[in-house]
């Protein structure tokens, strides 16, 4: 409960082990998974049930890189000696109980740093970042020795410079190369990228950039692509948003996945909220006319007796994609996700639409 109160995300582990206790985990697509705890911490009720149902002997883990009040990162050292540069940090430290010696050094920092191996004072150490976890006190190691704090959580320090230089180099290497993101003919996104955003326009401009990249071009970009470029643009500003402010933008995910969404980040929203955007010459300038044409075609498809319900669902998904991206096409996987149809049904529907002249 102390871990939870400090903004960390605990998870249940098997007694005397490092593996998650599958019986106590939430289910994702029908299978137990600790992945939800990477973004949403368990509730006090969840934790109470772990121990009520499975006894007091459980080990406990802490998710690293969890974007809570205290974004935890851990340096894992397999050996008795801690590099001098890390000893000098005087941060929260855990003796792991590993035979031969082992240490966990706790730090906090900005969200988003990935796990990896780095060299500190000539010693290779494992960095536990996003999508990872560590065994935490008062867990018991398989050897029978307990994990113990030598300095408690109140001593936790920010990530030291000896690691930050390596982390930033790795973080930036994950961002696609080039002068800017692939905006795929969306003039507004190019203008946002090239503009030195002022304090009063940062939030909406970065939000438009993030959501726009998710929708740009043929099926849009992946969420991690949009997030990384939005974070890079923020880092370039004279006065960047704080990590917490930026997280509110990049943790939302695509508007299209949110219940009751209205696609409120398209051309009308951009014109209303970013008046300095110039739409002249943009490929999407005549989007309203295309919407009217699509509406007329949709009525024709709905009245066509040879177009089944499944085929119309695929057609509607493609029309919506065209409204968002300018291209009437989606991958089979995305069509399956949006329509709930099988792969075979989607393929047959697309063929029918091609035969009818709708594609």
Q: Report DSSP letters for 235-279, one per residue.
A: HHSSSPPPHHHHHHHHTS--GGGSTT---TTSHHHHHHH-TT---
Same domain, 117 and 163: yes
pLDDT of 61 reads 97
Query: Residue 302: pLDDT band by 50, 70, 90 thresholds?
Result: low
Same domain, 81 and 216: no
What is this structure's pTM? 0.51
Is residue 190 exposed (0-12), middle (13-18) or buried (19+ Cβ within 10 Å)? Answer: middle
Lowest average pLDDT, out of 85-89, 120-124, 163-167, 322-326, goes to: 322-326
Same domain, 147 and 295: no
What integer is the mean pLDDT of 44-68? 93
Lowest average pLDDT, out of 84-88, 201-205, 244-248, 291-295, goes to: 291-295
Contact 95, 115 (CB under 8 A): no
pLDDT of 293 reads 41
Show Cβ contacts of residue 161 under 8 Å, excluding neighbours closer than 6 positions.
none
pLDDT of 255 reads 66
What integer is the mean pLDDT of 11-21? 95
Q: Which of 71-85, 179-193, 329-343 has the highest mean pLDDT?
A: 71-85
pLDDT of 309 reads 78
* 77, 204, 212, 279 from 207: Cα distances, Å: 39, 5, 8, 18
Report the half-sphere exposure of 131 (CA within 13 A, side-chain side). 5
Same domain, 168 and 239: no
Whether 170 has a pLDDT exceeding 70, the answer reads no
Q: Is residue 6 part of a domain?
A: yes
Query: Residue 300: pLDDT band by 50, 70, 90 thresholds?
Result: low
Same domain, 83 and 158: yes
Same domain, 302 and 327: yes
pLDDT of 223 reads 81
pLDDT of 45 reads 94
Same domain, 195 and 168: no
Q: Is residue 92 part of a domain?
A: yes
Lowest average pLDDT, out of 14-18, 140-144, 242-246, goes to: 242-246
Same domain, 212 and 95: no
Lowest average pLDDT, out of 18-27, 166-175, 282-291, 295-304, goes to: 282-291
What CATH number is given to the structural domain containing 298? 1.10.10
Query: Residue 117: pLDDT band by 50, 70, 90 thresholds?
Result: confident
Same domain, 136 and 229: no
Higher-pLDDT residue of 206 and 216 is 206
Same domain, 89 and 154: yes
Same domain, 48 and 122: yes
Query: Residue 256: pLDDT band by 50, 70, 90 thresholds?
Result: low
Whether 112 has a pLDDT exceeding 50, the answer reads yes
- For the chain, what percentages of helix, strand and coil (3-state, to nearest 5) are there? 45, 15, 40
| Last residue in a domain, options 173, 198, 214 | 173
Q: Is residue 273 part of a domain?
A: no
pLDDT of 312 reads 76
pLDDT of 144 reads 93
Cα dihedral sign, 352-353-355-356: positive
Q: Is residue 145 part of a domain?
A: yes
How far apart CA 217 and CA 228 sit, in angstroms, is: 18
What integer is the mean pLDDT of 118-138? 91
Cβ of 152: how many Cβ atoms within 10 Å? 13
Same domain, 195 and 165: no
What integer is the mean pLDDT of 21-36? 91
3-class secondary-structure state, position 50: helix
Q: Is residue 277 part of a domain?
A: no
pLDDT of 291 reads 44
| Last residue in a domain, options 118, 142, 173 | 173
Q: Is residue 341 part of a domain?
A: yes
What integer is the mean pLDDT of 170-186? 63
| Last residue in a domain, options 144, 173, 202 | 173
Q: Which of 138-142, 160-164, 263-267 has the highest mean pLDDT?
A: 138-142
pLDDT of 296 reads 47
Count of the separate structural domains present in the chain: 3
Task: Please provide the average confidence, as pLDDT, over all residues in the chain.
Answer: 82
3-state secondary structure 101-129: CCEEEEEECCCCCECEEEEECCEEEEEEC
Structural domain range at position 54:
2-173
């Amino acid at each position: 409960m102390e871990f939870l109160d400090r903004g960390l995300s605990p998870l249940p582990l098997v007694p005397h082990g490092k593996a998650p206790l599958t019986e106590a985990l939430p289910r994702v697509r029908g299978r137990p998974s600790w992945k939800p705890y990477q973004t949403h911490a368990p509730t006090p009720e969840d934790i109470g049930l772990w121990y009520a149902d499975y006894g007091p002997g459980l080990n406990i883990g802490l998710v690293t890189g969890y974007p809570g009040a205290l974004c935890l990162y851990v340096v894992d050292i397999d050996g008795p000696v801690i590099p001098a540069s890390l000893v000098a940090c005087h941060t929260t430290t855990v003796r792991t109980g590993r035979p031969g010696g082992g240490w966990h050094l706790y730090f906090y920092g900005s969200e988003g740093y990935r796990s990896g191996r780095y060299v500190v004072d000539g010693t290779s150490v494992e960095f536990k970042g996003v999508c990872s976890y560590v065994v935490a006190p008062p867990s018991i190691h398989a050897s029978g020795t307990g994990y113990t704090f030598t300095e408690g959580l109140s001593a936790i320090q920010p990530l030291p410079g000896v690691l930050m230089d390596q982390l930033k180099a790795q973080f930036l290497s994950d961002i696609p190369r080039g002068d800017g993101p692939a905006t795929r003919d969306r003039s507004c996104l190019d203008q946002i990228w090239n503009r030195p955003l002022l304090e009063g326009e940062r939030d909406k401009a970065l939000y438009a950039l993030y959501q726009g990249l998710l929708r740009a071009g043929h099926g849009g970009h992946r969420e991690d692509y949009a997030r990384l470029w939005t974070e890079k643009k923020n880092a370039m500003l004279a006065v960047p948003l704080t990590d917490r402010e930026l997280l509110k933008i990049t943790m939302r995910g695509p508007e299209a996945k949110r219940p009751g969404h209205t696609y409120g980040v398209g051309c009308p929203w951009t014109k209303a909220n970013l008046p300095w955007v110039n739409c002249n010459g943009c490929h999407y300038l005549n989007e309203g006319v295309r919407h009217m044409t699509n509406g007329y075609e949709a009525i024709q498809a709905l009245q066509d007796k040879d177009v089944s319900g499944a085929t119309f669902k695929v057609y509607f998904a493609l029309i919506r994609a065209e409204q968002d991206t300018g291209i009437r096409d989606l991958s089979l996987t995305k069509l399956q996700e949006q329509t709930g149809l099988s792969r075979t049904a989607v393929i047959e529907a697309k063929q029918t639409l091609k035969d009818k002249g709708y594609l």
